[in-house]
Chain A
């Protein structure tokens, strides 16, 4: 299926400065102030694959306020973080397991 959700800056938004991070070992440019959720949506439209259930099982967050727990991702250093409430930092390495680089 060719449709992938994303997210778009609001009309009034001026371009923010760029930060380079790694998503699944691929260099990606984030906007300073992005959460991991925002970045992953923009890059590939999904955050993780649910462990259980049927269908694509792809998830891309839901509540964006740290309540639904549907956007946990791994960092390369072993931390697990909530994508919606974790800001991108320089040099961060996000591991989704979705093979973003190969899409």
Chain B
């Protein structure tokens, strides 16, 4: 590339999963030196999470990443080449992001050693990924109960099973995937309690055919688990998790009765939830998405947010999975380059069109998945009073209902102020949508009408030394 054509402006990519890595690559290819900020020590994100050095050779890439191991390897190889040409910051948290009055953006960083830095940039690609979306049940705070994603991370990053006979409950593609990975790794899943019904899965087959291989893989794993004798309860909902002398018991209900499943661990989850906090701080517009049943950042088909200069890619914008995240990351970088006046070659232009088309196909698949595995919103209204909704502050569904009755909060942010639900360390990541659902149900409003919990800096507690006394 001719050096006089090199664009000269500073750009940051936050997150080093599939979306962030592809975005950084596309920016570097165009002659920029992007700053790639990774909270983890190694690139790959949660999906291609790498074990620490000491555990590196315990599991083969195929064991770690299943059928996606080649994609994981390709990304790792690409990064090894890319790393020298970019400004890479591992183990660094972006805890605040602001729009600068003079233009551009300011990111506040802290790394694991406790070193602070502010970074002023002209543009940002946010590729901060997602976490589990969980419908709480009484007992979900008990030791031994994990999110589905967490159960998988323990396998990938620690070569550890959360239990020898875990119970898997919830819905979504992760449910069968993680249970199957546990079976392959030497565990014996005690039961799978799947809130999606068989008939909903059947109805979605035509739309899921947009990605036949993904669909087939899912059905293969479910069939293999049954063949291994794992009891699968479709249309079943976990009602309560109890710690007993023998282990953890998941009490569940279904249309045709219910039962109890005993295990030595529990993994629960109902799909994924975008890590949108930095976009919120930057003022990126959000909109209520009926299919997802919650608030998502507004993005155009190429990843532009409502704020000029801020691009959103991967699961933090739309839960479409790792393959689509790679596409979205590259596409967002291309949009950024073109918005900032970088002349693209004809070849790049063609590729941009191709990527847009690929993302559309993945969107069709996503909406099918949302129909098969809807978040069980209707169950929020019926959560027992003793369900801890806010894990950080110990606020129960009963506490929230009392506050709603006594103080009549107009929206979820008032409810937060009255109860501290969502004010804790996790910044409402786990409880925000649930509190909104409870408020909506109790007041006869739509979830959209009660609003979204506002974000605040720091998006996570800052790592590093503290000066105040320890807490016990």
Contacts and interface: CB of A to CB of B under 8 A. Distances in A.
B429 A60 contact: no
Nearest to A42: B160
Given A8-B161, A9-B160, A85 B40 contact: yes
Q: Which of B54, B164, B248 has the most CB of A within 10 A?
A: B54
Interface string A75-102: 0011111101101000000010100000
A5 interface: yes
Interface in B436-472: 460-461, 463-467, 470-472
Contacts of B115: none
B394 A64 contact: no
Contact of B149 (A33, A65, A69, A70): A65
Contact of A62 (B40, B145, B157): B145
Contacts of B430: 68
B394 A95 contact: no
Contact of A5 (B143, B150, B153, B394): B143
A9 B159 contact: yes
Interface in A31-59: 31-35, 38, 41, 45-47, 49-54, 56-59
B183 to A, nearest CB: 10
B219 interface: no
Which among A13, A38, A54, A62 has the greatest number of chain B C-beta atoms within 10 A? A62
B247 interface: yes
A8 B160 contact: yes
A59 to B, nearest CB: 6
A51 B161 contact: no
A45 B144 contact: yes
Interface in A1-49: 1-14, 16-17, 31-35, 38, 41, 45-47, 49
Contacts of B154: 7, 38, 64
B248 to A, nearest CB: 7
Contacts of A80: 461, 466, 470
A51 B463 contact: no
Interface string B163-204: 110000000000000000000011100000000000000000
A5 B187 CA distance: 15
B54 A17 contact: yes
B142 to A, nearest CB: 8
Contact of B158 (A34, A53, A70): A34
Contacts of B146: 61-64
A33 B144 contact: no
Contacts, number: 186
Contacts of A97: 470, 472
A81 B463 contact: yes
Interface residues of B, number: 70
A13 B58 contact: yes
Contact of B55 (A33, A41, A64, A81): A33
A7 B153 contact: no
A10 B150 contact: no
Contacts of A34: 158
A68 B391 contact: yes
Interface stretch (B6-14, B20-28, B226-234, B238-246): B238-246
B190 to A, nearest CB: 13
Interface stretch (B45-53, B288-296, B327-335, B376-384): B45-53
A97 B471 CA distance: 9
A68 B39 CA distance: 15
Nearest to B155: A10
Contacts of B265: 5
B392 interface: yes
A64 B157 CA distance: 9
Contacts of B470: 74, 78, 80, 95, 97
A41 B59 CA distance: 21
Contact of A67 (B145, B245, B393, B429): B429
- Scoring A2, A10, A58, A72 by chain B CB atoms within 10 A of each residue's CB, the highest score goes to A10
A83 to B, nearest CB: 12
A102 B467 CA distance: 28
A99 to B, nearest CB: 10
Contacts of B205: none
B10 to A, nearest CB: 27
A68 B59 contact: no
B235 interface: no
12 contacts: A3-B248, A5-B265, A7-B161, A7-B162, A10-B63, A16-B55, A53-B394, A58-B143, A66-B39, A66-B460, A74-B471, A80-B466
Given A12-B186, A62-B150, A78-B465, 14 more contacts: A8-B163, A10-B63, A10-B185, A32-B54, A54-B394, A58-B143, A63-B146, A64-B157, A67-B275, A67-B426, A68-B430, A69-B392, A70-B391, A80-B461
